[in-house]
Amino acid sequence: MSDEALARRALALLDLTDLADDATAEGTRDLCRRAVSGPVPVAAVCLWPRFVAVARGTLGDGPVRIATVVNFPEGGTPIAPVIRETEAALETGADEIDLVLPWQSVLSGQTTAASAMVRNVKMRCGDKLLKVILETGEYPDLDKVRLAAELAISSGADFIKTSTGKTAHSASLPAARVMLNVISMTGRPVGLKPSGGIRTLADAKGYLDLADAIMGPDWATPRSFRFGASGLYGALVAAIGGGEAGGLTAGTY
């Protein structure tokens, strides 16, 4: 596959993200404009809950989905406020919810409450996608990644996502491999979203090659695979346009 074809494939799988602490409504409008004006529309924009209505007003009912985050970024909010946050986001126009798993509780063996949070948020989402963020870069080993992935999926996750992008260590190929292996053993469709630190065409290729090898070459579609990134957009557009594939836009996610 040529660099251009690979970049087009990856761009269609991108959740173009702005979760900066200083994000603004005007920045959200700009993000939405970029989401639909590139060589290929991205799969979704991902932004803070307070900007969901702005994004809906900008994107309307077009093909680009609107994702937002709850229990973000630390994953330590009690279940009742997380449910209220989810309901408010859906009411203002969110198509997808990215929920941070209470991963510190999971690592300490307190899995019941974490499972209950995923189940309750999925109940509110209904047929809208629920992506559960595991925060795998903070785990002591890959066995814990497997445990968290299995818990999220058994509790109703439609996607499992590597990272918030707010910690020192984000997505990694070893963690993604474990997550894909868990998905491959699941008796229903579940997607993967590598996120955080994915900034170049080579980065994207590594994850797509891994997905192709484990799940098959036709598996990775917007319904089953997403990249969570801000800087990756510029690299992909440059590759499609024949420019430097490693070029970045502003942003660190």
Active site residues: 98, 161, 193
Q: What are phi and psi of 29, to 5 degrees?
A: -65, -40
Alpha-carbon span 51 to 124, nearest angstrom: 20
C-alpha angle with apex 136: 106 to 9, nearest 5 degrees? Answer: 135
Alpha-carbon gap, residue 195 to 228, rounded angstroms: 4
Residue 231 CA to residue 219 CA, distance in Å, equals: 25
